[in-house]
Structure 1
Amino acid sequence: MAIITRVYLVRHGETDANRNGIIQGQLDTPLNGVGIKQASLVGEALRDVPFSMAYSSDLSRATRTAEAILAHHPTLQVHEQKELRERDMGDMQGKSAQALKGVRLVVSTDRTVESGPFFAARAVTWWNRTILQRTESLSQEDHPQHILVTSHGGFIATLVQTLIQSRKLNSAPGIVIWGCVNSSVTIIEVNEKQKGVVIQYGNTSHLEGANLDNVVEENVDETQV
């Protein structure tokens, strides 16, 4: 079955909040020095991908990452979309995850936090409206279209897990859905029947040998989803 669209989901580069275990949610935190370097490296890794469209969360850590990638694709403009933001963590935003006790319990009871079902629905609605509708319009194309999406760890993990649970996605053999670290690349192929396959998840091979400080493995926003 023909592959119509290949979607590249890229998590933004590192921020000081990531490094310090601070819950960001929808706070607009900038990339730190490591994050800027990570964004540059993922841009180099994707420089030969013939992107036809680019979307990004409107939070600066995501848009700055998109800009680093699109530096190699000067004819493309990034389309900022609020729907691609991280989960709104309400009153928990800006607080240290380590300092909070029973964080998961707080998430489930704090009415200022975007609910898990609402967050998952937001992610899937974005996918249906932005990716699948575009795929449908491209069904007669001879070659797959390549779409760049820069977003957040919690959003990417929730989107992929929810689509797999609803059987809109499958995972290719050997693919493990695990943590989505800074500047990692996840690739989903969508066929003419609008069914998807995750062919790569959370890949950070572009960071190997870069002499960066220890990569932050835990995403405190994602672990609360």
Structure 2
Amino acid sequence: MTRYLYLTRHGEASPDGHGLTAAGRRQAALLGERLRDVPFTAVHHSPVGRAAETARLIGEHLPGVPLHACEAAGDYVPYVPTREELSPEHADRLLDFVHQFPDHEQGAALARQALDLFTGPAAEGTAHELVVTHNFLVGWLVRAALDAPEWRWLGVNHCNAALTVIRYAPDRPSSVLLFNDMAHLPAELRWTGFPPELRV
């Protein structure tokens, strides 16, 4: 009854944000190669083009594993904090950031749905599931796994085609086994999606 949830952000996006660059396609293929021996039951992916393309390229290395487009795996703000939840020195910047994105009510509903669909122990046996998504949802699910405050998805950032794995078992708290792991990517394909000051 243990669930292993594999999370990845789509590969590097083209300038219009719909598809992938050549580097993004290579990132997706390399991640697929890394994951080819995992006994996945399903791959869930955002319906947004860059994530759908990433999922398709990963899926080429996972024969027989079904791909499912899922709105809950989409690109949205999962939670909008109140000013009172934030430290005064960061509140203005963080609130300005989240308020540049629309449809907060829909995002909150999808974030609740994502928790219902993707987290917690499996119904039976051992499940391995992959979600190909966007930066915000990875942050939201990692935050939830660590029982951090809801606003703390902010600042949890994920590189393109990096890998995060969360384990959910019935007899213990959820645990983050890997976060933002880029071991499958060569140096020139790492840290895409991050501004220079966040690259280490």
- C-alpha distance in 2 between matches for 1:104 and 1:166: 17
Question: What corresponds to 1:160 in structure 2?
Answer: 142
RMSD over aligned CA atoms reads: 3.1
Residue identity matched to 1:129 = L
Question: What does the per-residue CA deviation read over 1:87-142, in whole Å, with 9 as the maximum and x for residues that have no partner?
Answer: 26xxxxxxxxxxxxx874544555x6243x8645632431223443x71x21xx2x
Q: What SS does structure 1 have at the residue aligned with 2:41?
A: strand
Q: What SS does structure 2 have at the residue aligned with 1:189?
A: strand
Question: What corresponds to 1:196 in structure 2?
Answer: 174
Residues 4 and 218 of structure 1: CA distance in aligned 2, closer, same or farther (over 3 Å): same
Question: What corresponds to 1:123 in structure 2?
Answer: 111
Residue identity matched to 1:158 = W
Question: What corresponds to 1:31 in structure 2?
Answer: 20
For structure 1, the 5+ residue unaligned runs are 18-26, 89-101, 168-176
The Cα shift of 1:49 comes to 0.8
Identity %: 25
Counterparts of 1:42-53 in structure 2, within 5 Å, are 42-53=31-42
- Alignment of 1:70 with 2:46, yes or no, is no
The Cα shift of 1:153 comes to 0.9
Aligned equivalent of 1:218, options 188, 194, 197:
194
The Cα shift of 1:166 comes to 5.4
Superposition TM-score, scaled by structure 1 size:
0.67
Residues 189 and 11 of structure 1: CA distance in aligned 2, closer, same or farther (over 3 Å): same
Counterparts of 1:136-155 in structure 2, within 5 Å, are 137-138=123-124, 141=125, 144-155=126-137
Aligned residues: 178
For structure 2, the 5+ residue unaligned runs are 78-91, 150-154
Question: What corresponds to 2:86 in structure 1?
Answer: none
- C-alpha distance in 2 between matches for 1:114 and 1:162: 21
Residue identity matched to 2:14 = D
Question: What corresponds to 1:61 in structure 2?
Answer: 50
Aligned equivalent of 1:183, options 161, 169, 177:
161
8 Å contact from structure 1 (residues 15, 32) kept in 2 = yes
Question: What corresponds to 2:8 in structure 1?
Answer: 10
